[in-house]
Amino acid sequence: METKIIDGRVLSDQLRKSIKQKVCELRQNNIMPGLTVILVGDDPASQIYVRNKKRACEQVGINSNVIRLDNNITEYELLGKIHDLNEDPSVHGILVQLPLPSHISSERIINTIDPSKDVDGFHPVNAGKLLAGQPYLAPCTPRGIIKLIESTGEDISGKHAVVIGRSNIVGKPVSIMLLQKNATVTICHSKTIELDKIARQGDILVVAMGRPQSITDKYIKTGAIVIDVGTSRVNGKLLGDVVFQAAKGKAGWITPVPGGVGPMTITMLLENTILAAQSSSVL
């Protein structure tokens, strides 16, 4: 069968036009949406991610500021920076680029960010609202995944969705979002017995394992929508968790790596920043 490609770059560009219009409307009301990113250390991958986020903000008119800090900054000092940003009315979104140095608790840092400015959607308050069906600032990658699935034109309601991966960043929240769209959801992980058999039941298959090229066509139901969240650099090449060539011809729809989930994650970050700015205007 013919496998259709779900192009995250094209969908992202479409959504960013709408976001740019929302930014213009906010600016007309004297609200200048602002995102501040904190980057600790000089990890090359983190620097690329931050640069891409800053560029995306500039494209849609969001004020973007990057605070670069030495790798040896203390946790206390970093917490102080976050407290200052929490109190700054010109900052609507705060993002701390992960991973952090080993001497700093990521959990403590995330929990210190004002939930109303937590554009990553990682704070326990926002996680709780998502679970309760009252999403405010939801995690960006899961939000992007839902948009990608919906872009196929297929109705999520009634479908069996299999999610491989149970992280707090992707697996758990996307499972909740799929449930809220009336899918029947099965969550799998590294300890799942007969993973391939369960995966083949999925009308929708979301793969977020972080294990490059681990999912072949034997895991895929004919005609399924396959969302590959994995991004691993192997011998200088960016690879997904799904063996793309093997999946083509078996899946009905599939996201490429790169060019699938990645662009949508950044676009959802922009949407969250706009939502935070809009909410600040009614507080």
pLDDT in tens, 69-80: 999 999 999 999
Give the C-alpha separation, 19 to 60, whole Å.
Answer: 7
Taking Cα atoms as reference points, which of 44, 53, 48 lies closest to residue 12?
53
pTM over 0.85: yes
For position 282, what pLDDT does the model report?
Answer: 59
Mean pLDDT over each residue of the chain, to the nearest integer: 95
pLDDT of residue 236: 83
Look up 20 and say whether it is catalytic. Answer: no
Q: Which of 94, 179, 177, 96 is nearest to 143 (CA)?
A: 177
- For residue 83, is it within any domain? yes
Catalytic position from the list 22, 53, 159, 250: 53
pLDDT computed for residue 135 by the predictor = 73
Considering 78, 97, 114, which residue would you say is the last residue of a domain? 114
With respect to residue 65, please indicate whether it lies within any of the assigned structural domains. Answer: yes
Total tally of structural domains belonging to the chain: 2
Summarised one tens digit per residue, pLDDT across range 147-205 is: 999 999 999 999 999 999 999 999 999 999 999 999 999 999 989 999 999 999 999 99
Provide the CATH number for the domain around residue 96: 3.40.50.10860
- 109 and 185: one domain? no
Residue 97 is a catalytic residue: yes
Residue 130 falls inside a structural domain = no
Domain housing 217? 139-261
53 as an active site residue: the answer is yes
Indicate which residue of 22, 81, 97, 118 is catalytic. Answer: 97
Name the active-site residue from 120, 203, 228, 241: 120
- Residues 146 and 177: beta-carbon distance below 8 Å: yes
Helix (H) or strand (E) holding 90: none
Asked if 51 and 164 sit in the same domain, the reply is no
Could you tell me if 188 and 196 are in contact, meaning their C-beta atoms sit under 8 angstroms apart?
Answer: no
241-272 pLDDT, tens digit per residue, is 999 999 998 999 999 999 999 999 999 999 99
d(CA 40, CA 88): 20
DSSP string covering 220-231: --TT-EEEE---
User: Does the residue 19 lie in any domain?
Assistant: no
